[in-house]
Every structure is written in structure tokens, then in C-alpha cells.
């Protein structure tokens, strides 16, 4: 069985480009894709928390998995290596079309996987070292470690996408819809609205417009 896996991080991105790329690759290799698996989810989530995890469990020896880039599998090299190792162990062929990689049971694939594994190990060590150095520096400067009380990472998501949020509100999208899209709570949006006068004004206009519509009916 030949499976194509397509992933984007947000609903605003499109899967069509990935599908076109894989279809071109399949034609060149004379392959017929039996199933397309798509999902909209962050690549930072572990494979087991995504459709990809279930897909990997179902694949058997001789099956083929096609992606446009290895980054579609995960955003971390360590996780990518884990998935590649799983495919090699179970004799699942993995193609990455844009990267030009083909991981199968050949010696070349095993050497390439070993090289990736070495890089992943170096990356893990460097991240650990940088984290320890940063913490030691902050401690030496007398700074309090850990997240400050009242910090809200989700609030930062709204702030960084403020223009999109305002555009959605002006188009009449509900607060509930915006909260679902960005994966935040209503309470977080309420704090965002209190800190941003323009957002508050948009909401007031939407509420007034809805009330006016009900009165006319």
C-alpha cells in the first residue's frame, strides 16, 4: 500500500500544493497512491497525538509512505529520526519528495539514517547545553527562574495575530469561532479585549448590529 501524508499547521495554509507535489512525484516514479491522509495540526505535537501515529501503526513491511518534506513529519529532528527509525525497522519505504530522500532497506539509506541520528544527538546536546547556560546566567544575574505570575502564552498568540483577529471581527465572525481557531479560552480573549480598545470597539459594533437585526425581525 502507498500512503501520502499531508500536514499543515493552521487552517489558513493549504494542502493543495503538497498534493500536487506528491502527484508529480508519483507519476515520475510510476507509483499509484492508494490513500491520502491529511491533517491540520502543529508539527510540534508528538506523532502519537496526531493521525500520523495511527498511520504508522497500520503500515506494514513493503508499504510506502510519501511526504513532501521531512518537516511534514515533525518540527524536531529527534522526532523525525524516531519516525525514520520506525520505518526502517518495519521495512516501510519513506519518500521525501522535495528533499530528494528515499529511505528503504538499502545500505545508502542506513548510512543516511545514521548521519541524521548523529546530527539529532548533537542537536539534543546543544539544546541541553544552551538551556543550562541560559538558566545559569539568569540565576547569576539574580533573575527569578520560571514563568512570571500572570504570563499567558495564549495571549501572545492573539497579539501576534491582532490584524487577522480584527479582520475576522469586522467580517462578523463570533468570539467563539475565533477562540476555536486559535485554541484559546473565552477568558483569554476577554483579557485581550480589555487590553485593546480597537478590539473592544469592534465587538461592541458587532453586538449592536446583532441586536439591531433582532429588533427589525
Give catalytic residue positions.
9
Give the N- to C-terminal CA distance of the chain in Å, as an integer.
57
CB 52 within 8 Å of CB 68? no
Backbone region of residue 146 per phi and psi (left: phi > 0; alpha: psi in -120 to 50; beta: other values): left
Dihedrals φ, ψ of 123, to 5°?
-60, -45
Identify the burial level of 155 via C-beta atoms within 10 angstroms of its C-beta, where 0-12 means exposed, 13-18 middle and 19 or more buried: middle
Q: Taken in order 195, 177, 205, 207, is the CA torsion positive or negative? A: negative
| The three-state (H, E, C) secondary structure of 87-132, written as one string | HHHCCCEEEECCCCEEECCCHHHHHHHHHHHHHHHHHHHHHHHHHH
CB 37 within 8 Å of CB 73? no
DSSP annotation of 9: S
* Nearest partner of 209 among 170, 175, 181, judged by Cα: 170
Amino acid at each position: 500500500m502507498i500512503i501520502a501524508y499531508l500536514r499543515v499547521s493552521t487552517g489558513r495554509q493549504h494542502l493543495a500544493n503538497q498534493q500536487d507535489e506528491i502527484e508529480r512525484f508519483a507519476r515520475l516514479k510510476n507509483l499509484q497512491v492508494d490513500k491520502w491522509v491529511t491533517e491540520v495540526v502543529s508539527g510540534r505535537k508528538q506523532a502519537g497525538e496526531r493521525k500520523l501515529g495511527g498511520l504508522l501503526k497500520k503500515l506494514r513491511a513493503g508499504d510506502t509512505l510519501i511526504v513532501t518534506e521531512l518537516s511534514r513529519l515533525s518540527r524536531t529532528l529527534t522526532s523525525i529520526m524516531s519516525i525514520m527509525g520506525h520505518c526502517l525497522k518495519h521495512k516501510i519505504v519513506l519518500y521525501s519528495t522535495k528533499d530528494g530522500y528515499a529511505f528503504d532497506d538499502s545500505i545508502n539509506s542506513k548510512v543516511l539514517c545514521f548521519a541524521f541520528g548523529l546530527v539529532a544527538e548533537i542537536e539534543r546536546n546543544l539544546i541541553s547545553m544552551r538551556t543550562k547556560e541560559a538558566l545559569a546566567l539568569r540565576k547569576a544575574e539574580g533573575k527569578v527562574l520560571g514563568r512570571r505570575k500572570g504570563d499567558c502564552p495564549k495571549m501572545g498568540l492573539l497579539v501576534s495575530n491582532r490584524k487577522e483577529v480584527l479582520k475576522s471581527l469586522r467580517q462578523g465572525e463570533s468570539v467563539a469561532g475565533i477562540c476555536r481557531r486559535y485554541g484559546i479560552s473565552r477568558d483569554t480573549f476577554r483579557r485581550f479585549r480589555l487590553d485593546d480598545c480597537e478590539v473592544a470597539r469592534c465587538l461592541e459594533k458587532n453586538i449592536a448590529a446583532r441586536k439591531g437585526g433582532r429588533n427589525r425581525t
